[in-house]
Amino acid sequence: MKTFYSMITAVAFLSACSTELTNQAVSVRQISLAGAENCSFLGPVSGSEFFGLTVAGDAQSALNKVRNSVAEIGGNAFVLTQTVSDADGTVSHADAYSCK
């Protein structure tokens, strides 16, 4: 029974690790490279998440970290340049832009 409670605690702890969007990041959108032509390049950003409950959850959390990073540097859009996912987690790289 003690093992059961330990597992429940571990699952609750791991599920709480996903990254939520900040208020500023809610409006950050993913665009295509062609869509970035009339935007100002701000720099590269990245986000990663490991050992979540699902690969999809890790991928979403990594993208939320990208959006949060874009918002932190004053951007409102990003072009995803690379995403690598496996059973352990996800790493996403992107270029941040400020678009009108």
Residue 18's pLDDT is 85
Domains of the chain with CATH codes: 2-98 (3.30.1660.10)
The model's pLDDT over 20-53, given as tens digits with 9 standing for 90+, comes to 999 999 999 999 999 999 999 999 999 999 999 9
Residue 11's pLDDT is 46
CA 65, CA 59: separation in Å to the nearest integer? 10
Picking from 92, 82, 78, the residue whose alpha carbon sits closest to that of residue 42 is 78
70 or 14, which is more confident: 70
Percent of the chain topping pLDDT 90: 79
Q: Is the pTM of this model over 0.85?
A: no
